[in-house]
Amino acid sequence: MTTKEMGRPHHEAAPSQKRPDSTGDNSTAAQRRRALEALETGPKSTIELRRRWDILSPAPRIKELRDRGYVIVTNWVQHATDCGNLHRVALYVLVSSAAAGAPG
């Protein structure tokens, strides 16, 4: 690896892959909001939450949502990565929203 390449990210998202509403906010609160927004549209896998919703560690964000009263079920599924390899990953399903409060 050359000195020029060392500071470069491994993979940059193509413009079409970037979320149109992305503000660049990677705080835990912002990631929780994105996780909840994603789950409200249907079940999401760990890989989907990482790739499409920019949540690199989905499990802690899901736990935080559960701690706030959201009922989220975890199912284990086989899911292919971008490299084509199958992995056992979580598939999160939002069953019910919190009675009160925001995900932040």
Amino acid letter, residue 84 = G
Q: Which residue has the higher pLDDT, 78 or 15?
A: 78
**Per-residue pLDDT tens for 48-59?**
999 999 999 999
Q: How far is CA 22 from CA 26, 62, 75, 98, in A?
A: 10, 20, 28, 25
The per-residue pLDDT for 1 is: 46
Interval 77-101 mean pLDDT: 88
For residue 14, pLDDT over 80 is answered with no
The architecture in CATH of the region 26-96 reads Orthogonal Bundle (1.10)
CA distance 89 to 46: 6
